[in-house]
């Protein structure tokens, strides 16, 4: 069997499997709402890739034995993984953690998450500091580059289960904005100006 593992190249019908993303409005309404502009302003996978955000669509029903996931982990060096269930009945300090996840922050390492069940949103800043909302549903594996400002929230369904992947030992520390002095932030910002660097 040949596996196509390039991020963003979806097996089967790409149009039905592409992850949806859009520019957000700036209303103060509940963070779990979609916050679409009117009319909706979609963001393409290419635009996300320019920001260093990559995506695969996998079959989450077989995540324990999935050769495609195995190959991605091998190729990308994702040696660590654990699973987090984000729901008020399963996650200790649920409210506090959700609040923390929704603070704009960055990490010193890539953030790699694979949605095994339920759904949620990642928000990332674009080059002009506008928020892009990325709708994550079952089977979406996303990588956010080290140094990108982002945040996470559940949607109206209030539940997701996600695999967390790392290269080597996990580092959970999040640095809330402003965190502009970190080398990794400056490197990320430079990569936006000169993607080939």
Ligand X SMILES: CSCCC(=O)/C(O)=C/O
Instruction: Give CA separation, 134 vs 93, 102, 116, 173, 174, in Å.
Output: 25, 14, 16, 22, 20
Q: Is 111 annotated as a binding residue?
A: yes
Q: Which is nearer to Fe ion, 68 or 118 (CB)?
A: 118
Q: Which is nearer to ligand X, 43 or 98 (CB)?
A: 98
Residue 84's binding partner among Fe ion, ligand X, none (Cβ under 5 to 8 angstroms by kind) is ligand X
Instruction: Give CA separation, 162 vs 2, 42, 103, 118, 123, in Å.
Output: 26, 25, 19, 9, 16
Q: Is 128 annotated as a binding residue?
A: no
Q: Which is nearer to ligand X, 152 or 188 (CB)?
A: 152
Q: Answer whether 107's CB lies under 8 Å from 173's CB.
A: yes
Q: What is the DSSP string of 46-61?
A: HHHHHTT-EEEE--GG
Q: Is 87 annotated as a binding residue?
A: no
Residues 68-87 interacting with ligand X (rule: CB under 6 A): 84
Q: Is 35 annotated as a binding residue?
A: no
Q: How many CB atoms lie within 10 A of CB 69?
A: 23
Listed in sequence order, the residues at least 6 apart from 149 whose beta carbon sits closer than 8 Å to its beta carbon are: 104, 105, 106, 124, 125, 177
What are the residues facing 160 on neighbouring strands? Answer: 86, 118
Binding mask 136-165 for ligand X (x = CB under 6 A): --------------xxx---------x-x-
Q: Which is nearer to Fe ion, 111 or 123 (CB)?
A: 111
By CB under 6 A, the count of residues binding ligand X is: 10
Residue 138's binding partner among ligand X, Fe ion, none (Cβ under 5 to 8 angstroms by kind) is none
Residues near Fe ion (CB under 5 A) are 111
Question: Binding site membership: which residues?
Answer: 105, 107, 111, 150
């Amino acid at each position: 069997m040949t596996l196509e593992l390039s991020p963003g190249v979806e097996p089967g019908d790409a149009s039905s499997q592409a992850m949806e993303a859009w520019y957000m409005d700036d209303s103060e309404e509940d963070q779990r709402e979609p916050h679409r502009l009117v009319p909706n302003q979609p963001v393409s996978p290419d635009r996300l890739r320019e920001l260093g955000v990559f995506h695969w669509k996998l079959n989450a029903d077989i995540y324990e034995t999935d050769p495609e996931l195995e190959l991605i982990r091998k190729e990308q060096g994702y040696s660590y993984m654990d699973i987090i269930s984000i729901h008020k009945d399963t996650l200790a300090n649920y409210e506090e953690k959700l609040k923390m996840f929704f603070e704009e922050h960055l990490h010193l390492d890539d953030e790699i998450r694979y949605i095994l069940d339920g759904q949620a949103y990642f928000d990332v800043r674009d080059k002009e500091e506008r928020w892009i909302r990325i709708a994550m549903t079952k089977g979406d594996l996303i990588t956010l580059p080290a140094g990108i400002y982002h945040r996470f929230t559940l949607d109206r369904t209030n539940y997701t289960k996600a695999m967390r992947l790392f290269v080597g030992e996990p580092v959970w520390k999040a640095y809330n904005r402003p965190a502009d002095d970190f080398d990794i932030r400056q490197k990320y910002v430079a990569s936006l100006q000169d993607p080939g660097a």
